[in-house]
A and B are shown apart, each in its own frame.
Chain A
Amino acid sequence: MHEEPFRWVEAIANRREYIEDQLAPGSPIVALGFRDGILLFTLSRERQKIFEIYDRIALGGIGHPGDLERLRLTAIELASTEGFARSADDVALRRLANYSLSPALKAAFEQIYGPPFLARLLFAELGRGAAPNLFLRLDYDGSIRTNGGSFARTFEDFGVIAGKQNAITQMESFLRAQKHSGLSLADTLHLAARTWSVGHLALSAEPDAALPDAARAEEHLREQLAHASVEAAVLEKDAPLAATYRALADDEVRAILL
């Protein structure tokens, strides 16, 4: 049946709907540029969702654990071999995503007899010197969205993902109203947690609901903190070694947030 173009388009549409359904409960992940680097933040119940990829690259992912693991290992493998064969300075997130990961995701998504990747990824890359940070969202179909700065879009020093599009939209509009590039780590943690709360509320809200007010977001965050663990990591500009990734402990973050 798939020889007919219309059937193929229909099969792809069904597949997209299926994957979106699977991803829908995915808890938001927030990445924010701040004074000392980049902070990645989420709350999780069961699995780790924030990972180190290379010296200046971190990953947050939602989706099926098996697929996330394969994509994570692939990203580490590609970055490590590039860094070994040439130099750590030649490892670039944009190339990693455009050249290697996106084609692999697209191929798996469109080969309708094979399994697609049930995954949505958020990469963050710490800018070198005065270069801006790069936040890159990579979806199950291989599509890429970055934080702009070129291509006639305003540069945004953040990146977010969540299970549903309206949660992503709400977090983005919440963050566009904030100035955070000069904040300290503690203030950035507060902002990231509030953003997460806005996104998490949107997962269970109507698609066109208004942004929740600050008190509602704060209340929701406290409820969720009671039975989830905090996951946070930073890419630090002035790290002592070339590897800039550092995971923050749950109690360290909790002490700041509560």
Chain B
Amino acid sequence: MHTPAALSGNGPTDFPGILRHHGLAPQPPAHTPVTGHHSPVTPTHATTILAFKFADGVLVAGDRRATAGNVIMYDRADKVLEIDRHSLMAIAGVPATAWEMARVLEHSFHFFRRTQLAEMSLEGKVRALSKLLRDNLGLVLQGVGVVVPIFATFDTAAGIPRVYFYDPMGAQFEAADFAATGSGSPAVRAVLHHENTYARKPLRKLKAPEAVLLALRALDTAAESDSATGGVDRRARVFPIVKLITRKGIETLPESKLARLYKANLAD
């Protein structure tokens, strides 16, 4: 048991700093010496996650498959994690690291609100994730902890949805319309780009059911060529996780609704 940092009056005031003070920090800091050979980072973030803006906000979806090499470990993984009332983090990469990051992030936002008596700014939240990714660089270089997340949120101050994606070192990019990462992302990006550019209406004009259907189709298309992406498994009734963030908050689509929507729109 460590003496609380707050009692001494000159300890750390941010949550990751508090975790380090208590010896609870999950990741080694970035300057930990890297052992072994410097293998090039192989992009084995085997999964597919996507986010795009639609008429009422932003949709975030992820397939359910977790793999280790060519073995399917689990077909019901949840890769879209709720961080606060208006924010979701979707993860592609090593689950152990990613879930730990989501936990740190969720606690950091709560901790900030409780101690500072104000909600953390959007930029602060986006950068908090960036910082976690940078701190994780040691594991990335050892080839065991690559995480490539998407962060989606509804900017309640500006009244608009926002989507950010990251590289494994923590650089953040704001997506104009959509983002996709993971091994199945080339296919998803092709589908979303095609829809956004050549379909009857761009992504940001889609209504909620249309957006959900598109997400299912895009993930299933990715699964067609990528063995590490689960897609839609109608026989086992396993559907991707689909969540919507609107001004009102986060809505998770139930499986029954996804099944109905998907089935009604299959080609004859």
Contacts and interface: CB of A to CB of B under 8 A. Distances in A.
Interface of A: 48, 51-54, 70, 73-74, 76-78, 80-81, 83-85, 100, 104, 240-241, 243
B111 A104 contact: no
Contacts of B82: 241
Contact of B24 (A51, A52, A85): A85
B24 A84 contact: yes
A241 B85 contact: yes
B22 A81 contact: yes
A83 B107 contact: yes
Contacts of B107: 80, 83-84
A76 B114 contact: yes
B111 A48 contact: no
Contacts of A84: 19, 24, 103-104, 107
Contacts of A243: 110
A126 to B, nearest CB: 16
A59 B117 CA distance: 13
A124 B205 CA distance: 47
Contacts, number: 52
7 contacts: A76-B115, A77-B5, A80-B15, A84-B103, A84-B104, A84-B107, A85-B24
Contact of B6 (A54, A74, A240, A241): A74
Contact of A48 (B22, B110, B115, B117): B117
B4 interface: yes
B153 to A, nearest CB: 15
A53 B113 CA distance: 10
A251 to B, nearest CB: 19
B108 to A, nearest CB: 9
Contacts of A85: 22, 24
Contact of B113 (A48, A52, A70, A104): A52
Interface string B73-103: 0000000001011000000000000000001
B40 interface: no
Q: Which 4 A-B pairs have the closest CB atoms?
A: A73-B6, A74-B6, A74-B4, A77-B4
Q: Which of A78, A80, A240 counts the most B-chain CB atoms under 10 A from its CB?
A: A80
A77 B22 CA distance: 10
Nearest to A83: B107
Q: Which of A73, A76, A77, A240 counts the most B-chain CB atoms under 10 A from its CB?
A: A77
A140 to B, nearest CB: 15
Interface SS of chain A: helix
Contacts of B103: 84
Contacts of B113: 52
A240 B82 CA distance: 12
A100 B85 CA distance: 31
B18 interface: yes
A4 B223 CA distance: 81
Contacts of A77: 4-6, 18
A53 B24 contact: no
Nearest to A73: B6
Contacts of B5: 77
B154 to A, nearest CB: 15
B71 interface: no
B236 interface: no
A74 B104 CA distance: 19
A58 to B, nearest CB: 10
Interface string B117-159: 1000000000000000000000000000000000000000000
A70 B7 CA distance: 6
B249 interface: yes
Contacts of B4: 73-74, 77-78, 100
Contact of B7 (A52, A74, A80, A83): A74
A211 to B, nearest CB: 35
A8 B5 CA distance: 30
A70 B9 contact: yes
A48 B116 CA distance: 12
Nearest to A52: B114
A241 B84 CA distance: 8
A150 to B, nearest CB: 26
B111 A80 contact: yes
Nearest to A243: B110
Contacts of B19: 81, 84
A73 B115 contact: yes
B18 A240 contact: no
A80 B18 contact: yes
Contacts of B15: 80
A52 B113 CA distance: 9
A81 B24 contact: yes
Contacts of A51: 114, 117
Given A70-B7, A74-B7, A84-B24, A240 B249 contact: yes
Given A51-B117, A74-B4, 17 more contacts: A48-B117, A52-B113, A54-B114, A74-B6, A77-B4, A78-B4, A80-B107, A80-B110, A80-B111, A80-B114, A81-B22, A84-B107, A85-B24, A240-B85, A240-B249, A241-B82, A243-B110
